[in-house]
Every structure is written in C-alpha cells, then in structure tokens.
Amino acid sequence: MYIKSKLSWNVVLPAGNLNVEGLMLQKAIITRLTADFAAKKATKDLGYFLAVTTVGRIGEGRVRQQSGDVLFPVEFTCVTFKMLPKEVLDGTVYQILKHGVFLRCGPIEKVFLSHQKMDDYQYVSGENPHFMNNKSSKIEKGSVVRFMVIGQKYMEAEKDFQALVSLEGDYLGPISYPE
C-alpha cells in the first residue's frame, strides 16, 4: 500500500556549503534532504521511502558547537510503500523453487509464495521449472501473479522487508505471462 506521510527531520549542512543567498540555501537543504531520504531506504513503521513530494517549512538553522555544521528542522511530505496483511497485490516471479516461488512487488525483493499456499498447483521440474494446475494455469519465471499478503517482517540490519503471501482467495493467481 502506498502511504502519504508527513515527517519532520533535521537536515545538517556543513558550514562550508552555506551561501548567503536564500534560494541557494534552500536548494542545498532540499538536496541534502533527498540524499538523506534515499539513504534511509525503509523503516519498520512506514515501509520503504519512495519519494519526497513536497517540502513544507524549513526552520531556522542552529549551529552545532563542536563541528560548526548548521542543523535545519525541515517538515515535508513523502510517499512510502508497505505491505499490509490481507492486502491484494501483484508481483513478478523471478525465482522458482520446488517449495515455492520468489516474487518482486514494488521495492520489496523478498516475497515468498509457498507451494502450500498455492492450492491445485503442482511443481513441474525441468529446464524451465514452473507450477501448473489442472486448468493449465502456469506460474513461471516472469509471470505476474496476484496474491494476498499473509504477513511481512522487517529486517532491521538490512533495512528491508520479507513477505509471505498466498493464492488462497478469489481472483488470485497468474494474471500475465512472459512474452
């Protein structure tokens, strides 16, 4: 799910980067904010940071005593992405294993669909392994699959999420195939 969030962060600029002209200072603050935003990647509560949409108030700078750097409080809005339980999403299959498939969904690379959560699908080994059901519906590398989120877990060290998903429900399964 895409979430619009309003955040307040402190942006620190080295004293050497400061310019007396207002627009150049704003540009330096916004440039630093977007760089910090991209480096943060994700948090447990908000999910993946995708884009800064608007910059609101930029507060007065405060000089740090030890370094001489200047700290500016900045309010801004951004778009984040986080999977929620029971949410229905689409993902692209990039790896097929005997026990299930791995999909990519937006910025999440580790979405696992277990063979136990694919009723009626059987694993077919070979040069191009895939899962097939009795209605000739096929899940193969490159397929886009609609699924329901069972749960997700935030990995603090990697600043990344893992998700477990299912095809148990109405209108779930492959929706397009590789060309």
- Quote the mean pLDDT of the chain: 92
Structure tokens at 125: 């080994």
CATH architecture of 2-81: 2-Layer Sandwich (3.30)
Q: How far apart are CA 46 and CA 77, in angstroms?
A: 12
What is d(CA 138, CA 176) in angstroms, rounded to the nearest whole number? 10
Sole residue written with tokens 């760089």:
35
- Least confident among 60-69, 76-85, 106-115, 154-163: 60-69
Region 24-43 average pLDDT: 90
> Roughly how many angstroms between the first and final C-alpha of the chain, as a whole number?
28
Give start and end residues of each alpha helix (H) in the chain. 22-40
Token pair for 21? 């002209």
**Token pair 């699924």 in the structure block, residue:** 147
Regarding pTM above 0.75, the answer is: yes
For CATH 3.30.1490.120, the residue range(s) in the chain are 2-81
Q: What is the CA radius of gyration of the chain?
A: 22
- pLDDT confidence tier of residue 97, bands split at 50, 70 and 90: very high
Residue 18 has pLDDT above 80, yes or no: no
What's residue 22's pLDDT?
Answer: 61
For 88-176, CATH gives 2.40.50.140
Q: Which residues contact 128 (CB under 8 A, 6 or more apart)?
A: 140, 141
* pLDDT at residue number 61: 87
